[in-house]
Structure 1
Amino acid sequence: MSASTSSRAGVGSLRPGGPRGLVNQVSKRPQPERHNEVGIQTSSFGGIEGMFDFTGPVSEGSDWTYRLTGLGKNMGSQIDREQERQLMLAPSLTWAPTDQTQLTLYGYYQKDRPKDFNPRFYPAIGTLIDNSFGQIPRELYLGDPNASIFERNFYTLGYEFSHEFNDTWSVRQNLRYGRASQNMFLALVNPAFAYRPDGHTLNRASAVSDDWLTSFNVDTQLEARFDTGALDHTALFGIDVLRADSSTNFGNGTVGVPPLDYLDPVYGTAPIPVPAIQRSGLQKQRQVGFYAQDQIRYDNWVGTVGLRYDLSDIDTQNRLAPDRSTVSNDDREVTWRAGLSYLFDNGIAPYVSYSTAFLPALGASRSGMPFEAQRAEQYEIGVKFEPPGGWGMITVSLFDLTLENGLTPDPASSLYSVQTGKQRVRGLELEGKYEISPEFDVLASYAYSDSEVVQSTNAAARGREMLRSPEHQGSAWINYRPSAIEGLSLSAGVRMTSSYQTDATYRDDLRIPSRALVDIGAAYDFDALHKSFEGTKFRVNVTNLFDEEYVSHCLNITGGSCNYGAGRAVTASLNYAW
């Protein structure tokens, strides 16, 4: 939805989703002021990336503005042989004949064609668990050039329209059509039987898939701003329509796939046959949501109450079944939320909120049964502090979230998911930014999460922590702009995560250890040297400065499907804007 606010109790679309909030990714849109920028980037892994971003009025005094952004990438990665190759283009055009009317047409296209894509399926022994022959190198390519197809395409087309009839009434409509497709044929480590008897030769399998997803979404809102006595109202009424179709074809096998000795890897020794399709499904989702919301202001009080009713129908067809049987899930759900905050004149704003959520889940289990809709509720209380003068901001919140029908990896196969009965997480979140002086500012955040699987179809999970849910997470970042060197800025930070479990069988030896990673950066604005360099900036960033080697997750009951985290990477970019 286009209407949103940083407060969780703010005006929004009441779209169904997780009650802890969504990341609001806002695409670049045309701007009335002309601005152009080009840039190049490279990294310590080699390769180059180029970008451009042009925006402004179509002509002087025109009602039309445009924006065109693009990116081309051919970059190395921490995996030997692997090359990240991507092309992206995003045009948009805005017509604003009056201050009350605006129409934006936009598109987005992205094509990914990585070279020698490496599936991140490392065995636990040799990565998370010690191997007497030595650990598997983090940079080792586990695939094979004879099975190295990975193609992904994504595009969207749509518009955003808004019109203000008068000071009270306005209307908005957002429409988008999107299609994503992925085609792959790869060789990867066989997680079920990772090692041969010698202890350092890895069995491999092949995998093939041909998937696509299309979605059509149109959201229409009517907004009214009015007063009733001392109360100021911002009321929102809307209807949200979604149609989505997805197709999945997947197969894997071991016949004809040569093993790989990680002490002496040899590639391309034999043709690899394409395995037969073993899973083929088609899902059709039809969903309509009706919602209403009122944000009420009285003096320094701000309250929000919202209600939504969803009708969701999902048909799942097993195309490999003799009768191509179809199973239907029909859900009808009412969700609501309410929030209240008080805005003190000194910048302190305490708040309290409650919300329920409903999210139909696409996909099917290993047995081919469609997933049930996920449901959740959350209580939250907190305070925000943004003092006058804008030298910083601090947010503190306590939350209690309960989720039903959450998806977790299938203990029998990491290629599938299962739905647990009920999960709960309670915690504390702290976030702050403080400007110590014109030269220094600090950003820091911390999150404490006490999670538990209350009910589950997986007996090993009951009473245990939720998967991929660290108890402690935190980060701190400092920016320094030395007054003695105009144009220079330096930064450094640390990211910390406590240990957590990612294996559905809760094996202690597959628990991910805690880690702390250090990042640094530097930037220089050449405008400080001479006005002729205005708009030219150079930046260098180093992530994981000390090149800590760590495993980010393990997902398979047999101890396979582990993945290394990102090692040290140095990136350098040069941008010019005018």
Structure 2
Amino acid sequence: MHSHVIKPSALAVAIGLAVSQMAAADSNDPLELDTMTVYGETYRNTATKTALEPGETPQSISVLDQQALEMRDADSVASALRYAPGVNTELRGGAVGRLDLFSIRGFINYQNYYDGLQLLYNDWNLQPQIDLKAVEQVEVFRGPTSTLYGSMPPGGMVNLIGKQPSTESFNKIEVAGGSRNLAEASVESRGQLGDSSLSYSLVGLTRTRDGQAETSEEERHMIAPSVDWQVSEDTLINFNLYYQNDPAMGIYTTLPASGLFLPNPNGELPQDAFSGDANWNEFEKEVLLAGYKVNHNINDNWNFLQNFRYTDAEAFQTNTYGTGLAADGRTLSRQAYLTDETTTGFTVDNQFSGRFQTGSARHNILVGLDYLSLDSDVIYEDTAAPAIDLFDPDHYQITQDNITIENTALSSDFNIRKKQLGIYFQDQIELNRFVIIGGVRWDDFTGEEKGRQYGGTVDRKLDQDNVSTRAGVMYRGANGLSPYINYAESFEPQTGSDRNGNEFDPSTGDQWELGLKYQSQDQQTSANLAFYQITKDNVPTRDPNGGPYDQIQAGEVRSQGIELEARAQPIDSLLVTANYTLQDVEVTKDNTGLKGRTPVWVPEHLLSVWADYGFYDGPLNGLVAGIGARYIGEAEYNAATNEGKVPDTTLVDIALRYSLGRVSHTLRGTELGLSVNNLTDERYYSCFDSSNCWFGEERTVEASVSYRF
């Protein structure tokens, strides 16, 4: 049986002050929490797909557990990752929440994982999201991961671990309100069903609020039930369901840099500025995920796990985009468009693992076969729309009478299909104080786009295969210092061909990483220092001997940097975490003038610090207070010239949790919460180019009350 165990630490002591049912209401002593098994037999470490602890893995991995997520009041993947090293979040600003997008080690990533399986994404607008209320833990695996997961950008991946059934009874009801008319209610329950071999987990959420941009709204409804069936001592079957309906998801439109951080003769735009139209700003997404896991212990040393999930999703949107800012600095010309998208598909991962010993070497063998299939239909329509005055906007201009959205020059109706088959092998060896990992994987990826696209026809097919390898070694020192080195490869399929009809090869990447991990004997202090260099090859660039749209694979991008992640508890009541990232990303080969340039969305420096302090006695007995600061360095907004920078910013967040059980025994289990993000209401931005920028999230305040029983 492989289980993930969170060891008792002073972190649990500090955060436990807010969980009143874990101690007597009149106790003033520091709380001591028992060792708690959070995951059962179907959990696997993201970095290895085994039970090897992250601290013993010769590669960088960060784990944000439930205590950290709750204390920081994270309500999205982006907000959860704000305090993780190597990750830049909110690339499309704080007003855009309809997709989870971030860069890891300088490479953009749309492909998230949920319980070890890829969330099927059609490369358009239909990206399934998992609400953080349904997530127990967030794991960030930095560096190439293709040896275990197949197609993936070389910077790394994020795996969201869902809340699991438990035989221990737990129930929680929470309501919250706050900025922008936030109204939220959630419920969480888990436990054993009577005296049966069934245990369950149920998470539900409903949330409405105004969007950050003027006239916009956000709404979400989610339910996630899961059942474990302990068929026998050696066999467990889990059935899980995730349903989410987002009737409204804010905005997706952009603003020009002029009026944000570049000079504009009309002054500055407000943080709620909106370049779209209230009559043409609809986005509704509905996602159903249904899956199962079968875990069977063949004997004491050999195990089989099958993880399967079916996806059925759809999204409809009406929207606008800007096509140019006039010389007056205020009039933005626009296009109106709509998309209607559906996706069905499934993904399955079969893992066969075994443990045996040869001499003094202990082996943990992993053999896997995974497969995914995606089938997506996309309708796209696009037409001219009335211009808007950004400094005196009329957000109610578009009607069916003044635009013709169907059968225009850009009309599209086409089908996307993807299939990926992967076979992988990994050997994890423990030899005295050494941990050695080696892996290899073969992938076969096929893709197809067929139908009517942008007024013409499209019939593209893609068939690419690739072999990825990985190797790493770590020495676990008796003094808690564990140096390591690793090499890993990635691959991403590339659609298209050169002007002679030669199909592109996959884009591949490789990484060398040298690191040092530290864990003190008393578990009070841990740290990870990593030096890395990633090179991504076969990047398509313009063909200098062809037409304006002809491409060849002449590009190369190099990312190198330093990451430091540390956690310390200097006294029982104080926990401090700190992260620093220095990244240098550069186009190293190109024939279009980009050589030597830095891509957008890549700040050179990222720094964050968070501290939690628990009060044990006095009038504040029962209070846990957290404060954090995060620095986001300057980033390019013109990838072609690197002639301008998106300004840097420093943001402050606070969170408070207060257990009313410390006031009165009758209120045991009741907790009050208050969080403020961007406390000083700093204006900050992200940009794809000077015409397409977004505001970061403005100051938001949320107050909550919860009851656990």
TM-score of the two chains, using structure 1 as the length reference = 0.90
Does residue 247 of the first structure (1) align with residue 377 of the second (2)? yes
Cα distance, 1:322–1:21 mapped onto 2, change above 3 Å: closer
* AA partner of residue 160 (structure 2): Q
**In structure 1, what is the equivalent of residue 692 of structure 2?**
561
Kindly state the Cα deviation for residue 378 of structure 1 after the two structures are TM-superposed.
0.6
Instruction: Pick one of 394, 419, 422 that aligns with 1:289.
Output: 422
**In structure 1, what is the equivalent of residue 672 of structure 2?**
538
Q: Distance in 2 between matches of 1:550 and 1:490?
A: 26
Kindly state the Cα deviation for residue 424 of structure 1 after the two structures are TM-superposed.
0.7
Kindly state the Cα deviation for residue 264 of structure 1 after the two structures are TM-superposed.
2.9
1:29-86, Cα deviation, whole Å (9 max, x unpaired): 1111011111111222113011111111111x21101111111011123222222101
Instruction: Pick one of 302, 305, 313 that aligns with 1:169.
Output: 302
Q: Is the 8 A contact 1:460 1:504 kept in 2?
A: no
Q: Distance in 1 between matches of 2:586 and 2:397?
A: 48
**In structure 2, what is the equivalent of residue 50 of structure 1?**
185
**In structure 1, what is the equivalent of residue 467 of structure 2?**
334
**In structure 2, what is the equivalent of residue 414 of structure 1?**
none
1:322-379, Cα deviation, whole Å (9 max, x unpaired): 99442222212111101111112232211111111123367999xx999863311111
Does residue 235 of the first structure (1) align with residue 368 of the second (2)? no
* AA partner of residue 263 (structure 2): D
SS at match of 2:376: strand
* AA partner of residue 366 (structure 2): L
Kindly state the Cα deviation for residue 92 of structure 1 after the two structures are TM-superposed.
0.9
Kindly state the Cα deviation for residue 395 of structure 1 after the two structures are TM-superposed.
0.7
Indicate the larger mover: 10-19 or 121-130: 10-19
**In structure 2, what is the equivalent of residue 524 of structure 1?**
658
Kindly state the Cα deviation for residue 399 of structure 1 after the two structures are TM-superposed.
0.6
* AA partner of residue 271 (structure 1): T
Aligned pairs for 1:143-292 within 5 A: 143-188=276-321, 190=322, 192-195=323-326, 198-254=328-384, 257-269=385-397, 271-272=399-400, 273-275=403-405, 276=408, 277-292=410-425
* AA partner of residue 266 (structure 1): D
Aligned pairs for 1:24-173 within 5 A: 24-59=159-194, 61-114=195-248, 117-173=250-306
Does residue 425 of the first structure (1) align with residue 553 of the second (2)? no
Kindly state the Cα deviation for residue 431 of structure 1 after the two structures are TM-superposed.
0.5
Kindly state the Cα deviation for residue 446 of structure 1 after the two structures are TM-superposed.
0.2
Structure 2: gaps (5+ residues): 1-42, 60-140, 543-550
Cα distance, 1:321–1:37 mapped onto 2, change above 3 Å: closer
1:513-536, Cα deviation, whole Å (9 max, x unpaired): 111111122111112112222221
Q: Is the 8 A contact 1:124 1:554 kept in 2?
A: no
Instruction: Pick one of 487, 492, 517 that aligns with 1:384.
Output: 517
TM-score of the two chains, using structure 2 as the length reference = 0.74
Instruction: Pick one of 505, 508, 516 that aligns with 1:375.
Output: 508
1:159-178, Cα deviation, whole Å (9 max, x unpaired): 11111011121111011111
Q: Distance in 2 between matches of 1:398 and 1:165?
A: 40
Q: Distance in 2 between matches of 1:56 and 1:524?
A: 26
Determine what percentage of the aligned residue pairs are the same residue: 29
Q: Distance in 2 between matches of 1:376 and 1:21?
A: 11
Q: Is the 8 A contact 1:383 1:395 kept in 2?
A: yes
**In structure 2, what is the equivalent of residue 453 of structure 1?**
587
Kindly state the Cα deviation for residue 499 of structure 1 after the two structures are TM-superposed.
0.7
Does residue 307 of the first structure (1) align with residue 440 of the second (2)? yes
RMSD: 2.8
Kindly state the Cα deviation for residue 461 of structure 1 after the two structures are TM-superposed.
2.2
* AA partner of residue 30 (structure 1): P
Q: Distance in 1 between matches of 2:485 and 2:642?
A: 39
Q: Is the 8 A contact 2:231 2:237 kept in 1?
A: no
Aligned pairs for 1:387-536 within 5 A: 387-405=520-538, 421-456=555-590, 459-483=592-616, 484=618, 485-506=620-641, 508-509=643-644, 511-536=645-670
SS at match of 1:98: coil
Kindly state the Cα deviation for residue 209 of structure 1 after the two structures are TM-superposed.
1.0
Cα distance, 1:562–1:321 mapped onto 2, change above 3 Å: closer
Cα distance, 1:517–1:570 mapped onto 2, change above 3 Å: same
Indicate the larger mover: 500-509 or 28-37: 500-509
Q: Distance in 2 between matches of 1:384 and 1:375?
A: 28
SS at match of 1:265: coil
* AA partner of residue 100 (structure 1): D
Kindly state the Cα deviation for residue 507 of structure 1 after the two structures are TM-superposed.
5.1
Q: Is the 8 A contact 1:39 1:575 kept in 2?
A: yes
Q: Distance in 1 between matches of 2:474 and 2:558?
A: 25
Q: Is the 8 A contact 1:237 1:291 kept in 2?
A: yes
Q: Is the 8 A contact 1:87 1:110 kept in 2?
A: yes
Q: Is the 8 A contact 2:202 2:224 kept in 1?
A: yes
SS at match of 1:139: coil
Structure 1: gaps (5+ residues): 410-416
Q: Distance in 1 between matches of 2:553 and 2:577?
A: 37
Q: Is the 8 A contact 2:599 2:639 kept in 1?
A: no
Alignment size in residue pairs: 557
1:110-162, Cα deviation, whole Å (9 max, x unpaired): 111117x4333112221231211112222123322322321111121111111
Instruction: Pick one of 468, 472, 488 that aligns with 1:355.
Output: 488
Kindly state the Cα deviation for residue 251 of structure 1 after the two structures are TM-superposed.
2.9
Cα distance, 1:419–1:151 mapped onto 2, change above 3 Å: farther
* AA partner of residue 29 (structure 1): Q
Indicate the larger mover: 314-323 or 339-348: 314-323
Cα distance, 1:198–1:237 mapped onto 2, change above 3 Å: closer
SS at match of 2:156: coil
Q: Distance in 2 between matches of 1:177 and 1:362?
A: 25
Q: Distance in 1 between matches of 2:304 and 2:442?
A: 20
Q: Distance in 1 between matches of 2:177 and 2:351?
A: 44
Instruction: Pick one of 671, 683, 704 that aligns with 1:549.
Output: 683
Q: Distance in 2 between matches of 1:89 and 1:395?
A: 36
SS at match of 2:572: coil
Indicate the larger mover: 104-113 or 526-535: 526-535
**In structure 1, what is the equivalent of residue 702 of structure 2?**
571
Cα distance, 1:118–1:19 mapped onto 2, change above 3 Å: closer
Q: Is the 8 A contact 2:466 2:506 kept in 1?
A: no
* AA partner of residue 230 (structure 1): S
Q: Distance in 1 between matches of 2:685 and 2:458?
A: 41
